[in-house]
Amino acid sequence: MFIRQLHYLIALAEHRHFAQAAEHCCVSQPSLSTAIRQLEQELGITIIQRDHHFQGFTPEGGRVLAWARQTLASLDGLRQEAALAQTVAGGVLAIGAIPSAMRVVSLLINEYRREIPRLSLKVFALSTHDILGRLKKHELHVGIAYTEQCPADIYEALPLFSERFVLLTGVGATLPDNKVLSWAEVGQFPLCLFNHEMHNRRIIEYAFQQAGVSPTVVVETNALDVLYEMVSRGRVCSIAPISAVPACFFTHGIGIHPIMPQPAPEISLLRLRQENQPALLCSIWAMTPQCHLQQALDQAITRHAR
């Protein structure tokens, strides 16, 4: 068994096409196919379902793929330890984050690359469920998600911040004179909200229930740009965590208004529990608390609140 065969399996899982996987691995398609057939012969199982085209992995092949990812992740950690020794010079970091934390991801990336200039990053917007699954499969190095949804026996959690929800309004929206709004007041506006696939929507619904309010939701979406377009036109308002609102919104006429009381669910940086963590991941884990994310988000509310 050769390491390159494991790389071929993972490339095939990502591209689901023999020719594209071979191109990604910089080998010919026959070479890739032959290497995988040799691995099947060595293990005595069928890994790939195929006729003339790739049809997927067999159940046994799926388990081999999981082991391949784990093996290569361990090898990557070993290489980092050997190459980086005491100083982290660079590397690749794959981050999975819930959509409502994307503003925070940009803040973290700036800090990470300031400390590690040769660092390359891959960022994926995912649900908490997908983040946890990909961490277990070693497809991600770290995740950013709700702490309460992460089993502590499988994942380590480093608290980052507590979500702060704000009302987003467009130009011309008529609001009460008080600067901080109640959930009862917010519930009187026509709202565009993230849909129920997103955990923060369920948090918002619970806040309305606690206030005894039935909000008027006229648009639901899972896309931040749709929400922005609806609010910017001035016909509806929205509620979102400040951690989901890009800084550019504030220069295009979008107003933010604090809401009290705050549900304040905790968001954490996550990694898979394992005895030997890669050097790069240890460095990232150590520098993250120095980013002071809660302070940055609270200051954004203070600075831009109307």
CA angle (235 as vertex; 229, 237 as ends), nearest 5: 75
CA 7 to chain centre: 24
Residue 114, pLDDT > 50, answer yes
Residue 90, pLDDT > 70, answer no
Rounded to whole angstroms, the Cα distance separating 68 from 50 reads: 20
Q: Are 149 and 203 spatial neighbours (Cβ–Cβ below 8 Å)? A: no
Q: What is the pLDDT of residue 118?
A: 84
Q: What is the pLDDT of residue 86?
A: 40
Residue 303, pLDDT > 50, answer yes
Q: What is the pLDDT of residue 83?
A: 53
Q: What is the pLDDT of residue 228?
A: 83
Across the range 57-86, mean pLDDT stands at 74
Q: What is the pLDDT of residue 245?
A: 83
Residues above pLDDT 90, as percent of the chain:
36
Q: What is the pLDDT of residue 79?
A: 64
Tell me: the pLDDT tens digits for 267-276?
Answer: 999 999 987 7
Tell me: the pLDDT tens digits for 157-175?
Answer: 999 999 999 999 887 666 7
pTM of the entire structure? 0.69
Tell me: the pLDDT tens digits for 274-294?
Answer: 877 887 888 899 999 988 999
Residue 252, pLDDT > 60, answer yes
Residues above pLDDT 70, as percent of the chain:
91
Q: What is the pLDDT of residue 209?
A: 94
List, as one string, the DSSP characters of the chain.
--HHHHHHHHHHHHH-SHHHHHHHTTS-HHHHHHHHHHHHHHHTS--EEESSSEEEE-HHHHHHHHHHHHHHHHHHHHHHHHHHTTS--EEEEEEEE-GGGHHHHHHHHHHHHHHSTEEEEEEEE--HHHHHHHHHTTS-SEEEEEGGGS-TTTEEEEEEEE--EEEEE-TT----SSSSEEHHHHTTSEEEEE-TTSHHHHHHHHHHHHTT---EEEEEES-HHHHHHHHHTTS-EEEEEGGGS-GGGGGTT-EEEEEES----EEEEEEE--SS--HHHHHHHHHGGGG-HHHHHHHHHHHHB-
Residue 10, pLDDT > 80, answer yes
Backbone angles phi, psi at 105, to 5 degrees: -60, -45
Q: What is the pLDDT of residue 177?
A: 62
Positive or negative, the Cα torsion across 252, 253, 258, 263?
A: negative
Q: What is the pLDDT of residue 3?
A: 83
- Whole-number mean pLDDT of the chain? 86
Q: What is the pLDDT of residue 254?
A: 82
What confidence tier does 69 reach under pLDDT thresholds 50, 70, 90? confident
Report the relative pairing of strands 190-194 and 216-221 from DSSP bridges. parallel
Tell me: the pLDDT tens digits for 186-242?
Answer: 998 999 998 888 888 999 999 999 999 999 999 998 887 888 888 887 788 999 899
Domains delineated in the chain: 2-69 (1.10.10.10), 89-161+266-303 (3.40.190.10), 165-260 (3.40.190.290)
